Amino acid sequence: MAATKKEPRSKFYELLQAQIHNEFNASQQYIALAVWFDNEDLPQLAKHFYKQSVEERNHAMALVQYMLDRDHHVEIPGTGEVRNDFSAPLQLIELALEQEKEVAADISALAKAARAEEDYISEQFTQWFLKEQVEEISQMSTLVTVARRAGDNVYEIEKFLHREAVGDSGADSGMPPVAGGAL
């Protein structure tokens, strides 16, 4: 029988474990948004948020792989509450932007904790995620702007997403390895 890894955790690893929960929860929230858009017959918005959900899942699994690689015990958490009640597309997109800003703050806290603990390997690991959050916030901010300009004409948002492929840059260049492989 294999021994369970139970070494003392630093603040960084406690925050990293919490971030796994946050990423899985973000994935679930994006599924809720995608399903809402699907139900409203807005296929481009649905497709965008289904992809965002998979991306967040992959981020969670990259954090899991890092903990495994560093020989730290990993616990796969449940997810928190997911909002499903919306009345207009702009509400969903604004929620997504706020979620991305929260994730950016969380990743910054991870980088700060790693630096404070002089864990330069972990600090370096966080750099890809910081860069990713700049891109995510920028893309979601653009989508909020487009949605505000579109007003009640949600098909303008659909046309924009179809034409511009926001957030569809292909593979995550330089993304850390994902436990089980990226989806």
| pLDDT over 60 at 15, yes or no | yes
- List the one residue out of 16, 111, 128 whose CA is nearest residue 72: 16
pTM: 0.89
Q: Round the average pLDDT of the chain to a whole number and report it.
A: 91
Task: Give the per-residue pLDDT at 145.
Answer: 97
The predicted-structure confidence for 124-136, as pLDDT tens digits, reads as follows 999 999 999 999 9
As a whole number, mean pLDDT of residues 144-159 equals 95
Q: How confident is the model at residue 2 (pLDDT cuts 50, 70, 90)?
A: very low
Task: Give the per-residue pLDDT at 1.
Answer: 45
Q: What SS3 state is found at 157?
A: helix
- List the one residue out of 47, 178, 23 whose CA is nearest residue 104: 23
Task: Give the per-residue pLDDT at 167.
Answer: 65
Contacts 24+ apart (CB under 8 A), 36-45: 36/84, 36/86, 36/92, 37/89, 37/92, 40/89, 40/154, 42/89, 42/154, 42/157, 42/158, 43/158, 44/157, 44/158, 44/159, 44/161, 44/162, 45/89, 45/92, 45/154, 45/157, 45/158, 45/161
Rounded-to-integer distance, Cα 53 and Cα 45, Å: 12
The predicted-structure confidence for 16-63, as pLDDT tens digits, reads as follows 999 999 999 999 999 999 999 999 999 999 999 999 999 999 999 999
